[in-house]
Chains A and B, each alone.
Chain A
């Protein structure tokens, strides 16, 4: 069986999630959307996958390689824009006539998590968050070594440290190598991605803390998506670049922006990071 996956390109409603990577590579509970789809297809018996990517296809190819990691034959085809399933089908049929290549049995636009057709992922930040919560019970698969459900609805990953006095309220997902400090309140509805670091006395409720994100002492993150110093309130869609690193910041290197920055504008671009962004 052969399946063609169409990676969604830019979606204005969740644009800030794609600052550092294409939408299909944004971390979701330790993996990305494309990885979940490839795992799903393997479980369905698919052996050959063609991935059509219009947003940074080199990054997509870098992640999936030739698909051998999943036991797949996989090819990434770059496109200049996001094809509709009908366009992709017509193009495949045309190629099949010319080259004799087998057309795909199925074509999927991966704008949702596998099996969660009713939870649109990319319509808004709110929808993104709700889809992640809906995905929680499906994410604890057997390949996640060391992950355990320490109490109903509370999942903790390998090498994570939760100090005494931290309160974990279901549903709650704590990734790998996460530190949760004393007197913190995590959840309900909290997702701490891998290598997040949460300092003493912080509250994280109905929110996602991205990978390698530092949450400072006594801070409160509510109804938000925090990725490095970027704080998105998924309810109001207000977006803030937090000015002080001791409140919220990235523990990793600042990801490169996808858009090229002309050298003459570089100093102004740096200053822009100091100014809270206008609502999008």
Chain B
């Protein structure tokens, strides 16, 4: 499952984003990829939504891989500042 074209993950849309992703996750899901290439703004609510998905996929040990693709350098800075980067597999593609 691949999610992309997210201009932002913020207080304005993070709850909706989280609920919609969780609702559309098929039962036999192996990999959940979120492409952040188009994402120019993430705040703490957006980080919270990503962390909720991390927990929903079994904290990295539930058989479902949560992968974040192509985050901008600014979003990587935010992951580093909040120490959230350790929870996600982050890669460029």
Docked Cα-Cα span, A218 to B41, in Å, equals 21
Docked Cα-Cα span, A242 to B47, in Å, equals 13
Least CB distance from B55 to A in Å reads: 18
Q: Which of A236, A242, A278, A279 contacts B81 (CB 8 A)?
A: A242
Stretch at the interface among A106-114, A243-251, A261-269: A243-251
Least CB distance from B72 to A in Å reads: 7
A256-280 to B contact mask, C-beta < 8 Å, 1/0: 0000000000000000001111110
| Cβ contact within 8 Å between A220 and B40 | no
B72-88 to A contact mask, C-beta < 8 Å, 1/0: 11111110111100000
Q: With an 8 A cutoff between CB atoms, is B89 at the interface?
A: no
| Cβ contact within 8 Å between B44 and A238 | no
Least CB distance from A271 to B in Å reads: 10
Contacts of B76 in A (CB 8 A): 238
A195-227 to B contact mask, C-beta < 8 Å, 1/0: 000000000000000000000001111101000
Docked Cα-Cα span, A274 to B36, in Å, equals 18
Q: With an 8 A cutoff between CB atoms, is A174 at the interface?
A: no
| Cβ contact within 8 Å between B41 and A275 | yes
| Cβ contact within 8 Å between A247 and B82 | yes
Least CB distance from A224 to B in Å reads: 8
Q: Which residue of B lies closest to A242 (CB)?
A: B81
Residues of chain B from 31 to 62 with CB closer than 8 A to chain A in the complex:
40-44
Q: With an 8 A cutoff between CB atoms, is A240 at the interface?
A: yes
Q: Which residue of B lies closest to A278 (CB)?
A: B74
| Cβ contact within 8 Å between B40 and A244 | no
Q: Which residue of B lies closest to A238 (CB)?
A: B73
Whether A240 touches B40, Cβ cut-off 8 Å, given contacts A219-B82, A247-B82, A276-B72, is no
Contacts of A233 in B (CB 8 A): 73, 77
Contacts of B72 in A (CB 8 A): 276
A230-241 to B contact mask, C-beta < 8 Å, 1/0: 010100101110
| Cβ contact within 8 Å between A243 and B41 | yes
Residues of chain A from 41 to 76 with CB closer than 8 A to chain B in the complex:
none
Contacts of B40 in A (CB 8 A): 275-276
Docked Cα-Cα span, A80 to B83, in Å, equals 45
Q: Which residue of B lies closest to A248 (CB)?
A: B81
| Cβ contact within 8 Å between A276 and B83 | no
Docked Cα-Cα span, A51 to B50, in Å, equals 53
Least CB distance from A218 to B in Å reads: 7
| Cβ contact within 8 Å between A231 and B81 | yes
Least CB distance from A39 to B in Å reads: 35
Docked Cα-Cα span, A246 to B42, in Å, equals 15
Whether A242 touches B80, Cβ cut-off 8 Å, given contacts A233-B73, A276-B41, is no
Seed contacts A238-B73, A242-B81, A243-B43; 16 additional CB < 8 Å A-B pairs:
A219-B81, A220-B80, A220-B81, A220-B82, A220-B83, A224-B77, A238-B74, A243-B41, A243-B44, A274-B41, A276-B40, A276-B41, A276-B72, A276-B74, A276-B78, A277-B74
What is the interface of chain A, defined by CB distance below 8 A to chain B?
218-222, 224, 231, 233, 236, 238-240, 242-244, 246-248, 274-279
